[in-house]
Amino acid sequence: MKREQLYSGKAKTIYATDNPDTLIAEFRNSLTAFNGEKKGEMEKKGYYNAQISKKVFEMLGGSGINTHFVSMLSNIEMLVKKVEIIKIEVIVRNIAAGSITKKYPMKEGTIFKSPVLVFDFKSDDYGDPMLNDDIAVALGVATREELAALRKLALRINELLVPYLDEKGILLPDFKLEFGRRDGEIILADEISCDTCRFWDKKTGQSMDKDVFRFDKGDISKAYEEVARRIVPEIFE
């Protein structure tokens, strides 16, 4: 069923399938940060992220969010609906952390009164610069209607994710989403994992995500495994 490799990104490899409407996303163990400047590798990273993503996509799908997830073909291979990716990284921020606290006078840990949405232009060549609606439209990356739809979807996904994770003792300071076009609809694509979310332990405030790798905060394997244990306990049985 798996056919030729279409694209090898920073964390996943994408393959064609016999069906032109689907793709296979293979979650790899490679880690990158700072637009590819820092590189690493972690055993089972692909496995944990694939399993976490699957579980989260299923939860969101069950709550009416249209996602690209179809099924798992193996521990690390996800069959997904093929979409035309919208070249925007949709970032939702609930608590100030990371880059935003460097770019603006905002203190790490500040809880935003309402979620702060940021749209970055998904472009490794340009270093993912921030967009506003006028620029996004001028660049042709999305229409105004699509931008409004992305905003609404991102906020809805946030509303679903925050309590879902809270129950598991995880705070969600921020996360990044990618969406794609398919049959005139916008659907949630890519992944939702320790690579694309900030997860903080609710009790200790400790990072359980890619920040452990970015800023050498400790044992990355332990961090990712702990998130997997809380979100997909069944894989440890």
Ligand X SMILES: Nc1ncnc2c1ncn2[C@@H]1O[C@H](COP(=O)(O)OP(=O)(O)O)[C@@H](O)[C@H]1O
Footprint of ligand X (CB under 6 A): 7, 9-12, 14, 23, 25, 68, 80-83, 85, 178, 180, 189-190
C-alpha to C-alpha distances, 198 to 44, 115, 137, 138, 220, nearest whole angstrom: 19, 14, 29, 31, 13
- Say whether residue 59 binds a second copy (CB under 8 A): no
Find the Cα–Cα–Cα–Cα dihedral 16, 18, 24, 26, rounded to 10°: -80
Q: What is the DSSP secondary-structure string of 163-182? A: HHHHTTTEEEEEEEEEEEEE
70 counts as binding a second copy under rule CB under 8 A: no
Contact flag: residue 148 with a second copy (CB under 8 A) = no
Interaction partner, residue 183 (a second copy, ligand X, none; CB < 5-8 Å by kind): none
Q: What's the min distance (Å) between Cβ of 35 and ligand X?
A: 10
C-alpha dihedral sign at 192, 194, 198, 201: positive
| 138 counts as binding a second copy under rule CB under 8 A | yes
Element housing 33 (H / E): strand 30-33
With CB under 5 to 8 Å by kind, the binding choice for 62 among ligand X, a second copy, none is none
**Among 37, 134, 234, 237, which residue interacts with a second copy (rule: CB under 8 A)?**
134
User: In this structure, are residues 178 and 90 in contact, taking their beta carbons and an 8 Å threshold?
Assistant: yes
Q: Residue 197 half-sphere exposure, CB side, CA atoms within 13 Å?
A: 26
Told to check if 115 binds a second copy by CB under 8 A, we report: yes
Name which of ligand X, a second copy, none residue 68 binds, using a CB cut-off of 5 to 8 Å depending on partner kind: ligand X
> In angstroms, what CA-CA distances link 52 with 118, 144, 149?
24, 32, 25
Give the C-alpha separation, 162 to 7, whole Å.
32
When binding is defined by CB under 8 A, the residue of 20, 43, 62, 103 that contacts a second copy is 103
Q: Least distance (Å) from a second copy to the CB of residue 119?
A: 7
**Under a CB-based contact definition with an 8 Å cutoff, are residues 52 and 75 in contact?**
no
By C-beta, is 157 or 171 nearer to ligand X? Answer: 157
Rule CB under 8 A: is residue 106 a binding residue for a second copy? yes
Q: Which residue number has the CB closest to ligand X? A: 9
What are the residues binding a second copy (CB under 8 A)? 100, 103-106, 112-119, 121, 123, 125-126, 129-130, 132, 134-135, 138-139
